[in-house]
Amino acid sequence: MRVYLYTPATNRLDLSSFHGRIKRLLRQAGAAVTTNTERTADGLSAAELEAIEAAGGIALDTMDAVVIEATESDSRVGYLLAYAVARQKPTLFLYHKRSGQPELLTLLDKRAAPKTLVIKGFLSDNLDEVLQNFLRGFKELEVTEQPTVKFTLRLTKTMEKYLSYKTHNTETTKADWLRDEIDAKMKKDEAFWKWLKRQAE
| Euclidean distance between CA atoms 70 and 153, whole angstroms | 43
Q: Which lies closer to other proteins via its Cβ, residue 17 or residue 37?
A: 37
Q: Which lies closer to other proteins via its Cβ, residue 103 or residue 190?
A: 103
CB 13, CB 42: distance < 8 Å: no
Residues interacting with other proteins, by CB under 8 A?
4, 6, 34, 36, 49, 52-61, 75-76, 78-83, 85-88, 103-104, 106-109, 112-113
Give alpha helix (H) positions in the chain: 13-28, 46-54, 75-87, 127-135, 157-167, 174-188, 190-200
Q: Which lies closer to other proteins via its Cβ, residue 101 or residue 126?
A: 101
What b/e readout covers 141-158, taking b as 16+ CB neighbours within 10 angstroms?
bebeeeeeeeeeeeeeee
Q: Which lies closer to other proteins via its Cβ, residue 68 or residue 133?
A: 68
Q: Minimal distance in Å, beta carbon 131 to other proteins?
A: 20
Q: Minimal distance in Å, beta carbon 97 to other proteins?
A: 19
Q: Minimal distance in Å, beta carbon 80 to other proteins?
A: 7
Q: Minimal distance in Å, beta carbon 198 to other proteins?
A: 17
Q: Which lies closer to other proteins via its Cβ, residue 88 or residue 144?
A: 88
* Segments of 73-166 assigned E as strands: 91-96, 117-122
CB 129, CB 23: distance < 8 Å: no
Q: With the C-alpha atoms ordered 40, 187, 145, 201, is the resulting torsion angle positive or negative?
A: positive
Q: Which lies closer to other proteins via its Cβ, residue 54 or residue 153?
A: 54
Contacts of 179 (CB under 8 A, 6+ apart): 147
| Euclidean distance between CA atoms 191 and 199, whole angstroms | 12
Q: Minimal distance in Å, beta carbon 65 to other proteins?
A: 13
Q: Minimal distance in Å, beta carbon 69 to other proteins?
A: 15
